[in-house]
Amino acid sequence: MNWYTEQWSNECKFSIAYDKALYSEKTPFQQIDFYQSKEFGTFFTLDGLMMVNEKDEFIYHDMIVHPAFATNPGIKKVLIIGGGDGGTAREVLRYSTVEEVVMVEIDERVFRLCQEFLPVTASGVEEDNRMTLLFEDGLAYVQNAPDHSFDLILVDSTDPISVGEGLFTTAFYQECYRVLNKDGILINQHESPYFTEYAANMKKAHQKIKNIFPITNVYQYHMPTYPSGHWLFGFASKAFDPLKDIHAEAWNSFGLQTKYYNTDLHVGAFGLPNYVKEALKRE
């Protein structure tokens, strides 16, 4: 049997048996590998880290998108940073009320390869006429974007190593704040509280965002193939509180069928374990 193995900490590894290595390419930005497995279906890794697989992608993509729409059902203009597999765009485009989606992915090869090998996330995204696809650095994009041009920014990024690093900086979050409307929301790939290295990334990202946005929250979801399985998104906003301002009825009347997210889970997801609350406190 062939095993894909990922180092989760210095002393912990996670492995998936695969039937076939489907494709491998080194781009100017990163190493991309696609595999075919029985347990998780097709999956791809960037620089040896699991990004997306057919079996649990619905969890991540439901959770990065829907809590913001239940908080502000009036979202019309959305900016996605990263998200090259297309799964985040797919979920956003399900809202017929959304008028414009800009997706800024640094590596066009991720998107093209997902169109070929991972249609579950990538298919239909490019064809939607509300969609603008740009292949450039997300930090450079926000630096040049006009003030108050989006209702929602979704940071669907890799970990803060190599190309993803610029997306975990104060400069980036400040630009996001400027580019958002007066009641804008930022959702950030917030890493994980469990293993030390990921927890350090989580803390740093959170402190930076907290220094910029008046309302900051963190919510959790269970992602079986990401290190420890316990992952977080940051919710930052200029006006809306995700618990006080939840519009459960309005969200439910969109009539979207979701496999993970619902408005009861929305409330529960913001209830964090004590050790996570402690780690997120200002130092």
Taking only Cα atoms into account, the Rg of the chain, rounded to an integer number of angstroms, comes to: 18
In the bound state, the residue with its beta carbon closest to ligand AAT is 82
151 contacts ligand AAT (rule: CB under 6 A): no
Q: Which of 22, 15, 13 has its CA nearest to residue 1?
A: 15
Which one from 62, 156, 159, 264 is the annotated catalytic residue?
156
According to CB under 6 A, which residues from 226 to 255 bind ligand AAT? 226
Q: Please identify which residue in 89, 167, 209, 246 interacts with ligand AAT, judged by CB under 6 A.
A: 167
Judged by CB under 6 A, the number of residues near ligand AAT is 30
Whole-angstrom Cα distance, residue 167 to residue 186?
13
Run of H or E residues at 46: strand 41-46
Q: What is the closest distance, in whole angstroms, from the C-beta atom of residue 260 to ligand AAT in the complex? A: 14
| Residue 42 near ligand AAT by CB under 6 A | no
CB of residue 231 vs ligand AAT: minimum separation in angstroms?
A: 7
What token pair was written down for 26?
């080194």
Out of 158, 201, 216, 217, the only residue in the binding site for ligand AAT (CB under 6 A) is 158
Q: Is the dihedral of CA 131, 141, 227, 281 positive or negative?
A: negative
Contact flag: residue 160 with ligand AAT (CB under 6 A) = no
3-state secondary structure at position 156:
strand
- Supply the minimum distance, in Å, between the C-beta of residue 279 and ligand AAT: 18
**In this structure, are residues 27 and 70 in contact, taking their beta carbons and an 8 Å threshold?**
no
Active site residue 156: yes
Least Å from the CB of residue 283 to ligand AAT:
24
* DSSP characters over 185-205: EEEEE---SSSHHHHHHHHHH
CB 99 within 8 A of CB 151: no
In the complex, least distance from residue 90 CB atom to ligand AAT, rounded to whole angstroms: 10
**Shortest distance in whole angstroms from residue 106 CB to ligand AAT:** 4
- Under a CB-based contact definition with an 8 Å cutoff, are residues 212 and 172 in contact? no
> How far is residue 138's CA from residue 117's CA, in Å, rounded to a whole number?
24
Residue 189 interacting with ligand AAT (CB under 6 A)? yes
- Give, for 33, the enclosing helix (H) or strand (E): strand 31-37
Binding mask 97-136 for ligand AAT (x = CB under 6 A): -------xxxx--x--------------------------
| 53 contributes a contact to ligand AAT by CB under 6 A | no
Applying CB under 6 A, among 33, 56, 85, 91 the residue interacting with ligand AAT is 85
* CB nearer ligand AAT, residue 52 or residue 218: 52
- Measured between alpha carbons, how far is 151 from 184 in angstroms, rounded to an integer? 5
Query: Directed axis angle between helix 170-179 and helix 196-210, to 10°?
Result: 40
Residues classed as catalytic? 156
Residues that bind ligand AAT (CB under 6 A): 46, 49, 51-52, 60, 81-85, 87-88, 104-107, 110, 137-139, 156-159, 163-164, 166-167, 189, 226
